[in-house]
Amino acid sequence: MSRLRGPLRRAEQLVPRPAAGPDTAPAQPAPPAGRAADGAPRRPRGAGAVPAVLHTVAAALLVAAVAATAAAGVAQPLVATAFLTLIAVGECVRITLPGDREQAPIGAAAALAYALLGPLRGLPTTHGVLQVVAVAGAGSLLAATAPVLSRALPGACGLALRRRRGRPWGDPVRRDTAARRLLTVGFAAAVFQPLYNGGLLDRLPSAGPAYGVFLAAVAALAALCDATLAAALHRARTGLRFPAALEDELRSLPGIGSAIVATGMLVSLAAGEIGLWALPVFCAPLLLAQVSFRRAAAIRATTGQTIATLARATEVAGYTPPGHARRVADTACALGRELGLGTRELALLEYAALMHDVGQLSLVEPVPDGATALLPAAEQQRIARLGSEVIRRTGVPPRVAEQVARLADPCRRPDGGLDPSLPLSARIIRVANAHDDLLTAARGRGLSDPAGRLEALEALRLERGRAYDPRVVEALARMGGRAREPG
């Protein structure tokens, strides 16, 4: 904006310029706000403790379960082997869900079914909680040998196994998923098996509705347990606030989560009548559902490629500096996490931030350094609306185009009140874009990165409440303060 030049000059007076000399090294581009030097999102203090604790508890539970099962002997070995095999196969055909989640629907459903297994073809089962944990853990460990088996198996079998084995076990997401699975299955078994083996469920006929309602209640509790653990791990890995992470996990339950829970319940109920044939019969539909999720993932990947191409169009044409769109997107996502946005909102925010400068392609002459934050307000709004018209034709969600169309609108109405119709994502992108424009201008004048950050933040604070949302500016200030902390 034109009226931002005065605050820029006032802010520049607060920061001394570095002395020029032969030994003065050129300033390197600073990492985006909320990012570490390597570009990864900054995690909250003590973030590594939560995954370490859950992994340790899951490993200790598995060791204790295997030792107890080995000492007491495996109850009904054929049944245990059937479920173990299905769990291992399910772990080998994993899918990746939005938000970088990884799930093994068949393996999860088989483990839940074994935890909720009561009578088998009219005969009672005798396995307990620890054997359920041992079988679920052994199935996951058996799936870990997929790389070795893929090299040993000849031809198409080995190739298919290599293509379907998913993330390596050294990947943190894979370890998190395995720990969650073991703890959730252990929780479900701890609720159901003592009641069943103690005879407290004998009053409920296995073919009656009351028994099904009880199974549904236990499965729902297990799903909530899994969502809570997943939210805690997501918070630790990404820095997303726990309420937003938990909301994301709960929203994902009606999708593949509900299919897993329903399949687990159906297998445990049907096994009482048809025995182990329930495993392939009721897990086959879940395998077909995985195919649909893979196709949806391919569509999302195509959308991502389209967005990446549009984001680079302004850089290739010389309208914006190299890496500007990516830096703005990284800063915007860090601000979104700080302000409590969920994973879905963060994904839309990233899409809009990557394409926020597409409207500059309509300009006859490029803006110097692509700094649209220094243009008059009317010109900023014109560029934003032209960009939104282009985005509407790309097939991305309509909310992305709306966020880009409104990102240059003032945050206050003419009467002085805040505009409730202005999306928070648009306000975030405007602050992130101005922050990067101001940092680029400061580096062009020879300021160091710390001095440039101080100048940019001071300029944004002078305009908060008019051009920029005060809440977003203060979130940026908080992230900058953490960035200066050691370690």
Q: How many CB atoms lie within 10 A of CB 461?
A: 17
Question: Cα–Cα distance between 221 and 217 in angstroms, integer?
Answer: 6
Does 207 score more than 70 pLDDT?
A: no
Tokens standing for residue 445: 């004048």
Residue 133 makes CB contacts below 8 A (sequence gap 6+) with 61, 62, 65, 182, 185, 186, 189
Band of residue 182 on the pLDDT scale cut at 50, 70, 90: very high
Angle between helix 324-338 and 424-444 (nearest 10): 130
Share of the chain above pLDDT 70, in %: 81
Query: Is-contact 36 234, C-beta < 8 A?
Result: no
DSSP for 217-248 reads: HHHHHHHHHHHHHHHHHHHHHH---HHHHHHH
Query: Is-contact 267 110, C-beta < 8 A?
Result: yes
Please name the amino acid found at residue 142.
Answer: L
Question: Cα–Cα distance between 52 and 56 in angstroms, integer?
Answer: 6
The string over 116-153, giving b where at least 16 C-beta atoms fall within 10 Å of a residue's C-beta and e elsewhere, is: bbbbbeeeebebbbbbbbbbbbbbbbbbbebeebbeee
Who has greater pLDDT, 67 or 321?
Answer: 67
Question: Cα–Cα distance between 369 and 360 in angstroms, integer?
Answer: 12
Who has greater pLDDT, 158 or 310?
Answer: 310
Cα dist from 441 to 39, 295, 347, 358, whole Å: 21, 44, 28, 21
Does 333 score more than 70 pLDDT?
A: yes
Question: Cα–Cα distance between 245 and 337 in angstroms, integer?
Answer: 10
Residue 149 makes CB contacts below 8 A (sequence gap 6+) with 158, 161
DSSP for 130-189 reads: HHHHHHHHHHHHHHTTHHHHHHHS-HHHHHHHHHHS-S-TTSHHHHHHHHHHHHHHHHHH
Which H or E run contains 22? none
Which residue blocks in 377-448 are alpha helix, DSSP H?
Answer: 377-392, 398-406, 424-444
Please name the amino acid found at residue 210.
Answer: A
Mean pLDDT across 158-176 = 62
Band of residue 166 on the pLDDT scale cut at 50, 70, 90: low
Main-chain dihedrals φ then ψ at residue 97, nearest 5 degrees: -100, 165
Band of residue 18 on the pLDDT scale cut at 50, 70, 90: very low
Q: Is 468 helix (H, G, I), strand (E, B) or coil?
A: strand
Please name the amino acid found at residue 316.
Answer: V
Band of residue 387 on the pLDDT scale cut at 50, 70, 90: confident
Instruction: Give residue-wise pLDDT tens across range 268-277.
Output: 988 888 888 9
- Give residue for tokens 């009226």: 3
Does 327 score more than 70 pLDDT?
A: yes
Give me the pLDDT at residue 147, please: 57
Beta bridge partners of 321: none
Average pLDDT along the chain: 79
Who has greater pLDDT, 244 or 116?
Answer: 116
Instruction: Give residue-wise pLDDT tens across range 471-484.
Output: 899 988 888 744 33
Give me the pLDDT at residue 29, please: 42
Mean pLDDT across 186-211 = 82
Give me the pLDDT at residue 257, please: 83
Please name the amino acid found at residue 384.
Answer: A
Q: Is the pTM of this model over 0.85?
A: no
Cα dist from 276 to 121, 269, 271, whole Å: 9, 11, 6
Which range has highest mean pLDDT (6-20, 150-164, 210-224, 382-396)? 210-224
Tokens standing for residue 47: 């973030």
Question: Cα–Cα distance between 322 and 53 in angstroms, integer?
Answer: 41
Give me the pLDDT at residue 38, please: 40
Mean pLDDT lowest among 306-310, 347-351, 414-418: 414-418
Does 392 score more than 90 pLDDT?
A: no
Please name the amino acid found at residue 41.
Answer: P
Cα dist from 263 to 105, 258, 295, 365, whole Å: 9, 8, 21, 60
Give me the pLDDT at residue 33, please: 46
Who has greater pLDDT, 237 or 79?
Answer: 79
Main-chain dihedrals φ then ψ at residue 366, nearest 5 degrees: -65, 150
Give me the pLDDT at residue 379, please: 83
Please name the amino acid found at residue 326.
Answer: R
Q: Is 249 helix (H, G, I), strand (E, B) or coil?
A: helix
- Provide the greatest CA pair distance for the chain: 88
Question: Cα–Cα distance between 403 and 122 in angstroms, integer?
Answer: 59
Instruction: Give residue-wise pLDDT tens across range 73-88.
Output: 999 999 999 999 999 9
Instruction: Give residue-wise pLDDT tens across range 220-232.
Output: 999 999 999 988 8
Query: Is-contact 291 250, C-beta < 8 A?
Result: no
Mean pLDDT lowest among 39-43, 94-98, 278-282, 370-374: 39-43
Cα dist from 310 to 257, 334, 367, 368, 402, whole Å: 34, 22, 18, 20, 17
Give me the pLDDT at residue 456, please: 86
Main-chain dihedrals φ then ψ at residue 292, nearest 5 degrees: -65, -40
